[in-house]
């Protein structure tokens, strides 16, 4: 997928882990965490949405984040990179 160096905001749910012992009432108080990630959209398919924190004029990227596509709530275009 050609993303044209789009800079996006992705809202997505990530897994959480709670150690300890809980009763049914306190278990129900646990919630998923909604994350916001901003970066260059590199690709998205049915399994993985991939963004990078940095890009350069040589078409190279750094600090890659892989997000499970099934956890994505929304992808919002913020701008197109001036490096395009």
Domain definitions of the chain by residue range: 6-80
Average pLDDT over residues 25-30: 90
Residue 30: beta bridge partners? none
Q: Coil, helix or strand for 35?
A: strand
> Do 71 and 57 touch, CB atoms closer than 8 A?
no
* CA neighbor of 16 nearest in space, from 36, 35, 37, 31: 31
E-only strand ranges, the chain: 6-14, 33-44, 48-55, 61-68, 72-80
pLDDT digits (tens, 9 = 90+) for 31-64: 999 999 999 999 999 999 999 999 988 889 999 9
Residue, of 21 and 5, whose pLDDT is higher: 21
Note the pLDDT of residue 3: 52
Residue, of 57 and 10, whose pLDDT is higher: 10
């Amino acid at each position: 997928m050609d993303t044209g160096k789009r800079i996006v905001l992705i809202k997505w749910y990530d897994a959480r882990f709670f150690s300890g012992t809980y009763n049914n009432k306190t278990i129900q108080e646990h919630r998923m965490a909604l994350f916001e990630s901003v970066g260059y959209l590199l690709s998205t398919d049915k399994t993985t949405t991939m963004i990078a924190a940095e890009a350069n004029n040589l078409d190279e990227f750094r600090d890659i984040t892989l997000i499970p596509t099934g956890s994505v709530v929304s992808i919002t275009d913020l701008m197109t990179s001036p490096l395009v």
